[in-house]
Amino acid sequence: MRGRSWRCWTMAAVLLLLCGRSHAQLLPTPPVLGGVLGDVERVTTDTLDRTGETIETVRSSARDLAATRVDRLRDLVRANPDRLEMTRLGPAVRSEVIAIDPDPVALAAAEAAGFEALGEERIEGLDMRTVTLRVPRGWSVDRALSRLRRLAPTGEFAANHLHVPSGGAVAAGGAAARSVPAVSGGGALVIGIIDGGVGPHPALRGRVRQQGFAQGAPRASAHGTAVASLAAGQGSVRGAAPGATLAVADIYGRDPAGGNALALARALGWLAQSRVPVVAISLVGPANPVVARAVAQAKARGMHIVAAVGNDGRAAPPAYPASYPGVIAVTGVDRRGRVLIEAGRALHLDYAAPGADMAAASLGGGLAPVRGTSYAVPFVAGRLAHHVGRPNPLAALDAEAAGRGRRGVGRGIVCSDCRTPYRRD
């Protein structure tokens, strides 16, 4: 009897923890044993069973998201076998590797081993030089990288990995992006966007400058247009910085290898050269030395980079560029302030912003419902743009963030009232 009572009181203590302090008075006190204690044991057991079922459901969802991510990336490679291959870290440009600031000795060793130099480039706006190498016939990119690191252990080499939108795929359709005035001075806020191209929309009334970094770019995309409207929209979609000037780097265009690391680095260089202070990147990919170097160079020039944690769940690998040091990592929340179940993770988390239960601009000129951490990024970037020029822009952003201290939202929820509700006609 004593052993059973001890087990029951242990279960009661667990129930107390599950229910929280506000429900502690509902538990029976020591003099009230017998039937009540038996009820507590049964209720506690049921509660623990339900909790176990909930935890298993969450784990299954996380596994499903991770599996879906892998399947999606493999499908992308299968659809473009002449341009892409699957590497250990994800899709990359087929049969090519990139040497970063290589010395002549490293290049000579690579060429002696059968690598062919396809081209050298100095990325404008950044202190960065790259040489693209074709790998020996029949070699995978992973095998080539392993060989290069043995040949030149002090060199830095990378696959040309792809980065994908973190809030839905880039639309297959779309027209050429409109030609608009260049970014210039004045008092207007300026926000950079690295994504697909942006199409014309009544909500986008400010200046938009677009530059292409892929075949067929700039080209309007659904994802890029939606992100742009949440950053600077007016009217039917109110962005975080209404009417702000946008500098849009389209790294997708019509290119099956769009979103690659080298294109992303070039885009950062263009934006750095244009002195764009805040850049929104609603894309995710693996850790890549080319992008890591470009991010560090852009940040050294004063750029604030805001990036998404992705939508592949907590079981997916950490998202990049959100995980690079100094990048502002953003997750999404629904209209009740709950972190999206599909939200991914980064090695650090800075802010949350609305990412569901809302509308954004669509390519057809109307509105479309959107969901994903992609759509939280422009809210944070837009609000941060308001504070650029202050001694500590992030401290000013912290001051306006809601829900500080709440688990899963970093330093708080930014622009919590920026959401445009979606209403079906």
pLDDT of residue 202: 97
pTM over 0.85: no
303 and 266, same structural domain? yes
130 and 211, same structural domain? no
219 and 102, same structural domain? no
205 and 116, same structural domain? no
320 and 249, same structural domain? yes
In a domain, 215, yes or no: yes
269 and 370, same structural domain? yes
288 and 345, same structural domain? yes
pLDDT of residue 72: 87
In a domain, 322, yes or no: yes
In the structure encoding, which two tokens stand for residue 181, read together? 């005035």
Which of the listed residues 94, 128, 161 is the one where a domain comes to its end? 161
pLDDT of residue 228: 98
pLDDT per residue, tens digit, the chain (425 aa), is 444 444 444 444 433 333 333 333 332 333 333 343 334 333 333 433 343 444 444 445 556 776 777 888 999 999 999 999 999 999 999 999 999 999 999 999 999 999 999 999 999 999 999 999 999 999 999 999 999 999 999 899 999 999 999 874 333 334 444 433 333 333 479 999 999 999 999 999 999 999 999 999 999 999 999 999 999 999 999 999 999 999 999 999 999 999 999 999 999 999 999 999 999 999 999 999 999 999 999 999 999 999 999 999 988 899 999 999 999 999 999 999 999 999 999 999 999 999 999 999 999 899 999 999 999 999 999 999 999 999 999 999 999 999 988 999 999 999 999 999 988 75
Q: How many separate domains does the chain show?
A: 2
370 and 337, same structural domain? yes
In a domain, 153, yes or no: yes
225 and 126, same structural domain? no
In a domain, 78, yes or no: no
pLDDT of residue 173: 38
353 and 249, same structural domain? yes
In a domain, 125, yes or no: yes
pLDDT of residue 62: 54
In a domain, 422, yes or no: no
312 and 203, same structural domain? yes
In a domain, 374, yes or no: yes
pLDDT of residue 360: 97
Which of the listed residues 146, 161, 176 is the one where a domain comes to its end? 161
Say which CATH number the domain at 117 has: 3.30.70
pLDDT of residue 315: 87
Q: Which domain holds residue 145?
A: 84-161
Say which CATH number the domain at 333 has: 3.40.50.200
pLDDT of residue 35: 41
pLDDT of residue 49: 38
292 and 233, same structural domain? yes
In a domain, 93, yes or no: yes
pLDDT of residue 66: 65
Q: Contact at 8 Å (CB) between 165 and 374?
A: yes
Q: Contact at 8 Å (CB) between 304 and 393?
A: yes
pLDDT of residue 184: 36
Which of the listed residues 145, 161, 177 is the one where a domain comes to its end? 161
